[in-house]
Structure 1
Amino acid sequence: MPIRLTVPEGLLSQQAQAQAFAGLTDALLDVADLTGNTFMTANIIGTINVLPREHVLAGGTPVAAAFIELRLPEIALASAEAKQAFFEKAADVVEQAAEGKLKREHIWSNIVYAPEGAWGIAGRSYDNAELIGAIQGAAIAS
């Protein structure tokens, strides 16, 4: 379940970047009620994109901002409450990592859903039922 965090240079130290990504991972696991699930934890992956300051814009103007994109299967975080909970936790994580260098109103998040059967892990395609089965199987094994 890829997470992409995009920030301008100088907003987050390397340590803060790692802290933010770990916090975003924990937020997703918490909201999905999957903390400790080995299958899910191992498959939350992602990137931290650090762009030149002039390449991070809001309203057409460079700004200290953070963009959080989450890619999930259609079955994940489907409820409005789950989405809201993730967005709140994600904003908290990034705001704390920025240590006062970022206004909360300059944190944007979105979720992109992969269509049924379009989720691949280790070269294997999973449909929603298979993905749920793998997640549940990890919960039983632990």
Structure 2
Amino acid sequence: MPFTLTVPEGLLSQQAQAQVFAGLTDALLDVADLTGNAFMTANIVGTINVLPRQHVLAGGTPVAAAFIELKLPEIALASAEAKQAFFEKAADVVERAAEGRLKREHIWSNIVYAPEGAWGIAGRSYTNAEFARAIQGAATAS
């Protein structure tokens, strides 16, 4: 489940970037009720893009902002309540890490869903059913 976090230079320290990624991971696991699931935890991956300040824009002008994108299989976080809970937790994590250098209204999040069968891990394509079985198998093994 790749995260992409995009922020301008100077918004988050190196330590805060690591804290944000860990916090986003925990938020996703918590909202999906999968905390401790080895399969899910190992497959939450991502990148942190730190761009020059003038390359992070809102309303056409540079702004201290954070953009959080999460890519998931279609079956994950499908309910409106789960999405809302994730967005709230993700904004909390980023806002806290920015230590006052970021207005909450400048945190944008979105979820992109991979179509059925278009989720790949370690060179293997997973259908939604196979993905669910892998998650359940890891839960059973714990």
Identify the TM-score tier after normalising by the shorter chain. Answer: over 0.9
Instruction: Give the Cα–Cα distance (whole angstroms) in 1 for the partners of residues 134 and 73 of structure 2.
Output: 13
Alpha-carbon distance between aligned partners in 2 of 1:94 and 1:85, rounded to the nearest angstrom: 15
Counterpart secondary structure, 1:140? helix
Q: Distance in 2 between matches of 1:40 and 1:58?
A: 33
Q: Deviations over 1:101-131 (max 9, x none)?
A: 0000000000000000000000000000000
* Distance (whole Å) between structure 1 residues aligned to residue 56 and residue 100 of structure 2: 18
1:1-29 per-residue CA deviation (whole Å, 9 max, x = no partner) reads: 00010000000000000000000000000
Give SS of 1:76's match. Answer: coil
Once the two structures are TM-superposed, the CA of residue 87 in structure 1 deviates from its matched residue by: 0.2
Separation (CA, whole Å) in 2 of partners of 1:24 and 1:4 = 10
Counterpart-to-counterpart distance in 2, 1:96 and 1:42: 25
1:24-64, Cα deviation, whole Å (9 max, x unpaired):
00000000000000000000000000000000000000000
* 3-state SS of paired residue (1:78): coil
TM-score under structure 1 normalisation?
1.00
Write out per-residue CA displacement over residues 73-118 of structure 1, whole angstroms, 9 at most, x where no aligned residue.
0000000000000000000000000000000000000000000000
Aligned length: 142
TM-score scaled to structure 2, two decimals? 1.00
Deviation, 1:71, is 0.2
d(CA) in 1 for partners of 2:13, 2:28: 22
- C-alpha separation in 2, matches of 1:130 and 1:64: 40
Gaps of 5+ in 2: none
Q: Partners in 1 of 2:129 and 2:74 — Cα distance?
A: 11
Give % identity: 90
Q: What secondary structure does 2:26 align onto?
A: helix
CA RMSD of aligned residues (A): 0.2
Could you list the structure 1 runs, at least 4 aligned residues long, displaced by more than 3 angstroms after superposition. Answer: none
Structure 1: segments with no counterpart, 5+ residues: none
Give the match for residue 129 of structure 2. 129
| In structure 2, distance between residues paired with 1:134 and 1:109 | 27
